[in-house]
Amino acid sequence: MKTPEEKVKPFRLVKYFTFSSLIVIFISTIVLSVLNTDWVRTTQQKRSEEYALFVAENLNHQIFWQFFVPAALKYKKIKLRDKVQADMLDKVILSALHGYKVDMVSIYDAKKNVISYSFDKNMVGKENVGGPEYLSAITGKSSTKLIQQGNFIETLLGFPSENKMITTAPLLTEDVRPGSKRTTIGVIEIVQDLSNEYKTIFRFQIVLIGTITVVMSGLFVILLFVVRRGESIIEKRAMERLVLEKQLRRAEHLSSIGEMVAGISHEIRNPLGIIRSSGELLKKKMSVLDPSNSIPDIIVEEAVRLNSIITDFLAFAKPRQPNLASCRIEDILEKNLTTLATQFEEKVCFVEKQTASFLPEVMADSNMLYQAFLNILINGMQSMPGGGKIFVGITSYNGGINIVFEDEGSGIPDEILKKIWDPFFSTKDKGTGLGLGIVKNIIEAHNGTIQISNRQTNGTRVFVTIPAGQGK
């Protein structure tokens, strides 16, 4: 037989697989989001490069026609160190870049690696600052490079706080007359600040990862709740199955014991009847020959006691089916109390009875319930050898009846409370250990329930329910 642990193992495999899948999905989603962000960043960089080259081409056109040609005709020679020409070029560049997002423009001399013009006037005149990009532009090739600066954490995350793209392009002459060749007259360096764009991409990535984390956390919590709920249900069902199997084995065991007891009881009852009748006959004869002889009385008395024990055995081994008829529980209990009134008086016991109004009738065997209630009341009385109170309460529920019996005895020890339903278990010297078993059989034959527990103060509490429906 599989244990509950073995039965839960398949579900645990499903649980581990589900959690593993959720983790894999979460990691995969994070990786996809990072790749998507990197793609967006690459796309943004490419667009910025194309934008810078477009600005450089437009600026080249404006400088050549708006400054280079007019200045050459007017001044015969281009001298950007001259303030008049520098101001003229500055106006042309500012006009050409109006509406464009450009942070810095510098123009290098075509013959020397010297800055001839720059938005930053402190850079004008500096030499050898162009680098390989300048040399490439002199040959007619444009190039771009991205410069990023930031602290260690920003660099590690791939989003430095400062991001600048530098585009270097040749400043070329244009076709003044058909067939003329374009020549390099300088180098244009355009600087774009992409920090805000990168911050936007970074914020988008943070929002995306945060959203994914929240959604996955919600799914994890829901899945955890479902898994724990499923484990609880499976474990509960496994335990219920174990209890049912235990009850089935106990029922089979009791059935075999009952069949054996019934057979033995029938075999004993016949010779026991002969012994009893012989004892009664011997008693009559001895009353004439030796009236003081008590042996016949003992024989008869013990035969009666043994017959009572055999009757209990048969009642437990082969409980009879109830003969259902409409009856009132309060009438049955009143009959019990009337029968035991003399014994209650002798034992200094008194009964407190509480009966609810408008109690319904139930379909039951009044004789069987009378026997069950009688055993419960006698047990309560015997638990109080010095006397005391027995409480009997009767209430209704959904057309059925609840009966409560409470005594003021010493209660039942916990180790004994677990065994009270076991057959042949008794704490009484002359008890058969079948009384409560017979009571339980009678109550369950009426589809009812019986529970025995200790009261919080002292004594025992017996709770019996009898439904309004048909018995078994």
Domain layout of the chain by residue ranges: 4-193, 323-466
What was the pLDDT predicted at 184?
Answer: 86
8-state DSSP, 66: I
Query: How far apart are the C-alpha atoms of 115 and 130, rounded to whole Å?
Result: 8
Residue 266, classed as helix, strand or coil, is: helix
Single-letter code of the amino acid located at 258: G
Residue 222, classed as helix, strand or coil, is: helix
* CATH code assigned to 323-466: 3.30.565.10
Query: How far apart are the C-alpha atoms of 276 and 301, rounded to whole Å?
Result: 8
What was the pLDDT predicted at 310?
Answer: 66
Long-range CB contacts (within 8 A, 24+) of 181-186: 184/110, 184/137, 184/138, 184/140, 185/64, 185/68, 185/110, 186/107, 186/108, 186/109, 186/110, 186/116
What was the pLDDT predicted at 405?
Answer: 93
What was the pLDDT predicted at 87?
Answer: 86
Query: How far apart are the C-alpha atoms of 28 and 110, rounded to whole Å?
Result: 52
8-state DSSP, 64: I
CATH superfamily ID and name for 4-193: PAS domain (3.30.450.20)
Single-letter code of the amino acid located at 466: I
In tens digits, what is the pLDDT along the chain, a chain of 472 residues?
Answer: 445 445 555 666 767 777 787 788 888 888 887 788 788 888 888 888 888 888 888 888 888 888 888 888 888 888 877 888 888 888 988 888 888 888 899 999 888 888 888 888 888 888 888 888 888 898 889 998 888 887 777 766 666 778 888 999 999 888 766 666 778 888 999 998 888 888 888 788 788 888 888 888 888 888 878 878 877 888 888 888 888 888 788 777 766 766 666 666 666 666 767 777 777 777 777 776 767 777 777 777 777 777 666 666 656 656 667 888 888 889 999 999 998 888 888 888 988 999 888 888 888 888 889 888 988 898 888 888 888 899 999 998 876 889 999 998 888 887 777 777 666 656 665 555 567 777 888 888 888 888 888 887 788 889 999 887 644 4
Residue 354, classed as helix, strand or coil, is: strand
What was the pLDDT predicted at 393?
Answer: 92
Contacts of 190 (CB under 8 A, 6+ apart): 52, 55, 56, 59, 102, 104, 105, 166, 167, 168, 169
Give the pair of three-digit tokens for residue 314: 């048969």
Give the pair of three-digit tokens for residue 43: 């796309």
Other beta carbons within 10 Å of 116: 20
